[in-house]
Amino acid sequence: MQPFSRRRQAVQPALTRLSHTHYALDGPFAAYLRGVTEQWLLIAPAANPAILDMFADRDRKPYRDQVPWAGEFAGKYLTSAVQILRLTGDPKLKRHLKAFVARLIAHQDADGYLGPWPHRHRLTGYAPNVMNKRGSTWDTWGHYHAMLGLLLWYEESRDAHVLRCVESMAELLCRKFMGKKHQRLVDTGSTEMNMAPVHVLCILHRQTGKDHYLDLALQWVDEFAALDADGQPLAGDYLNQALAGQPFFKTPKPRWESLHPIMALAELFWITGEERYRRAFAQIWWSIVELDRHNNGGFSSGEAAQGNPYHQGAIETCCTIAWVAASVEMLKLTGSSIVADEIELSTLNSILGLHSASGRWVTYNTPMDGVRKASAHDIVFQAREGSPELNCCSVNGPRGLGMVSDWALMGDEEGLVLNWYGPGRMQVGLRRGLTVVLTQETEYPRSGRVGIRVDPSEAAEFAFKLRVPYWSQRTKVRVNGAAIKKVCAGAYLTLARHWQPGDTIDIELDMSMHYWHGEKECRDKVSIFRGPVLLTYDRRLNAVDPDEVPALDAVDLRGSLVEAAAMVALDVAAADGSKLRLCDFASAGEGGSPYRSWLRVTNAPPMPFSRENPLRSGR
C-alpha cells in the first residue's frame, strides 16, 4: 500500500450540504416533523430505558438476552434525532439530545468500546447471550451507528468530548484489526453489517485528517473481495463486482445492510480522486433504480435486492432509509437532478408512508399493495425487558424525514441548488457577509404552482439552480414576471443574475398523470403518478372494496382535487362510469384499511422517461 501522501488527490463533491441552514418548514411535512419529535424522539429513551442500560450492565450476570443488532439502537436513534433537529431547531429536542449523548458516552470503556456485549466477546462476532443459536453479533455494526450519530451531534454541538469518544472507537478498531490477517474484520461474520465502519472511518478521516483511519478503510475495502477456505465469498466484493458491470442483486451479499459499507466508495472517491470508486458506486446505485426500486420509492424485497421491483416481499423501513442515505451520497457525487427526483419520490411516498401521521410509530413493511402495521406488531420479537418499543425500524424510520436536511438546499461552486419544494422558509449564509432567505408559498405536491421569494441580505451576484423534475415535461418559470424560454425536464435550471431583495420566481410544474406498466407479479396492472405522488386506492375513502376496484381509462383520467383525510386526493371517473377516489400513497392505509397502488388502467401511455442505467450506454 502506497503512503497516503502519494496516493491522495482529493475531489470536491459536485453538491454539498449547506451547514448552518435554518429551516422553518410548513405544511404536511412539518406536521410529520412535529409529530415524530413530540410523540417519539422526546419520549423514546424514557419509555425504553434499556436503550442505554444495555451498555451499563453489559458485563453483569445474568446477561441480557439480546438481538444481534442491539448495539445499533442508540446510534440509529441519535442519527434520526440530530437530522430532524437540523430541520426544526427545536430547543427542547436539542437539550434532550445533549443529555442523551452525555449518558451514552459515559458508558464507553477505557479501551474505546461502546457496545452491549460482555468483555471477552467484544468485536468478535460472538456472544453467549445473543438470541440466535449461533451466538453471532453485529458488534462493529453497532459501533458504526453510534459513531455516525455522534459525529452528526459533534457537527451540531462542537463538543470535543464527543469527537474524542468517536476517535476512541476508531482507535479500538485500528488496534484490533489493522494489518492483522489473523484478526480480519471479515472473519467476524455477518459481513454486510459488520463491515459498515469502513464508511464512518472515511468520514472521520476527512474530519480529522488522520491517515491511519484511511489506511484501515482501504484495508477493509480489500477485504470486500475475501474468500473462505473453499473459495466462496466472505463479503460482498462490492468494488470488483460493480466495476465488472454486475447489478447489485447478483453480487454475493445483496442484503440492504451492504449499502452502508458501499457508501465508503463515494467517500474514497472524494478522498483519493480514484475514478474506480466513483464508477463502482454509480453502477450499484443505477442498478438498484433500474431493477429494485419499487413504485413507492421503497427498496428491497424480503430485506434484499431481488432484481425485480414487482417482488411482493416485505419492503422494510430500514432498507428504504439506507437507500435514501446512499442516494444522498449519489446526489453529492454526481450533481444530477434526476437523483434528487428519486430521493423526492422515496421521501414523499415510502418514507412518509412508513410513518404514522401522529409520529408515534413506523412500519416494518410498507407494501405496494396491502395494509400497514406498526413495527411493534410485525417485528415484536425484538422487544425486550426495558425496551418494549425498540426495534431496528422504530429507531431508524425518523431518519428518512431528517435526511431532507441533507438535500433540500445544497450548494455548488456557483451558488445555491434548490431541491425541496414545499411551503416554508430557508435561510442560509452563502458567503461571508451574504445571507439569503428563500420563502416558498405553495401547496406542492397537491399543486404544481410554487412561488419563491428571494431575499439576499444585500444585492448580489450568484447562481440559483432550480430542480426541474424528469416527470414535468412542460414546466413554466418566470423571474419577476419575465418568462424563461428554455426549461428542460430532468435537469437543473440555472438562474445566474444579480439578485435583489424581493425578487420572485414563479414555477408551474406539469402535474399531468404518468404511468408505470407492471410486469411479473404486477402484470396487467399500472401505477399512476401525479407529479411525484403515487396515486393509491384506499378503502376508507371509497364504497367499493379492494377486489372490486373498477378499471380506469387513462384517456379520461384527469380527476378533480378534493378535500379529504389525505395530502392529495382526487376523484376520477372509472371506465364503467362510476367514481373512484385516489389519494397519495403516504396517506393510504393510515387507519389500517387495505390499499392498492397497482391498478387496472387501460390506454395508459408508456413512461415519458427511462429507468435504464445510463452507464451501460456511456451516457
Q: Would you state the pLDDT for residue 8?
A: 58
Same domain (yes/no): 78, 180 = yes
The answer for 297, left when phi > 0, alpha when psi is -120 to 50, beta otherwise, is: left
Same domain (yes/no): 249, 233 = yes
**CA atoms of 66 and 70, how far apart (whole Å):** 6
The full DSSP string for 548-575 is GPPPEEGGG---EE---SSSSEEEEEBT
Same domain (yes/no): 373, 497 = no
Q: Would you state the pLDDT for residue 614?
A: 61
The answer to the question of residue 214 being in a domain is: yes
The answer to the question of residue 612 being in a domain is: no
Rg (CA), the chain: 24
Which domain CATH number covers 430? Answer: 2.60.40
> In this structure, are strands 513-517 and 569-573 parallel, antiparallel, or unpaired?
unpaired
Q: How confident is the model at residue 182 (pLDDT cuts 50, 70, 90)?
A: confident
Q: Would you state the pLDDT for residue 565?
A: 81
**CA atoms of 97 and 94, how far apart (whole Å):** 5
The answer to the question of residue 279 being in a domain is: yes
| 452, 482, 508 - which closes a domain | 508
| 354, 377, 407 - which closes a domain | 407
Same domain (yes/no): 491, 457 = yes
Contacting residues for 584 by C-beta, under 8 A, at least 6 apart: 348, 349, 445, 533, 534, 535, 536, 566, 567, 568, 569
The answer to the question of residue 609 being in a domain is: no
Same domain (yes/no): 120, 238 = yes
Same domain (yes/no): 84, 141 = yes
Provide the domain limits for residue 29: 4-407
The answer to whether 434 and 458 are in contact (CB under 8 A) is yes
Helix (H) or strand (E) holding 415: strand 415-418
The answer to the question of residue 610 being in a domain is: no
Same domain (yes/no): 474, 347 = no
Same domain (yes/no): 398, 415 = no
**CA atoms of 616 and 583, how far apart (whole Å):** 36
> Is pLDDT above 60 for 5?
no
Which one has a higher pLDDT value, 7 or 138?
A: 138
The answer to the question of residue 594 being in a domain is: yes
Is pTM beyond 0.85 here?
yes
Same domain (yes/no): 440, 569 = no
Which one has a higher pLDDT value, 246 or 611?
A: 246
The answer to the question of residue 617 being in a domain is: no
The answer to the question of residue 531 being in a domain is: yes
Q: Would you state the pLDDT for residue 556?
A: 84
Same domain (yes/no): 483, 524 = no
CB atoms within 10 A of CB 458: 10
The answer to whether 339 and 323 are in contact (CB under 8 A) is no
| 508, 526, 545 - which closes a domain | 508
Which domain CATH number covers 138? Answer: 1.50.10.20
Q: Would you state the pLDDT for residue 183?
A: 87
Same domain (yes/no): 433, 522 = no
> Is pLDDT above 70 for 7?
no
Same domain (yes/no): 517, 377 = no
Q: Residue 207: exposed, middle, or buried by beta-carbon count in 10 A (0-12, 13-18, 19+)?
A: middle
Q: Would you state the pLDDT for residue 288?
A: 98
CB atoms within 10 A of CB 598: 22
CB atoms within 10 A of CB 600: 16
The chain-wide mean pLDDT, for the chain, equals 95
Mean pLDDT of 607-617: 62
- Rounded to 10 deg, the angle between the 72-88 and 139-157 helix axes is 30
How many domains does the chain fold into?
A: 3
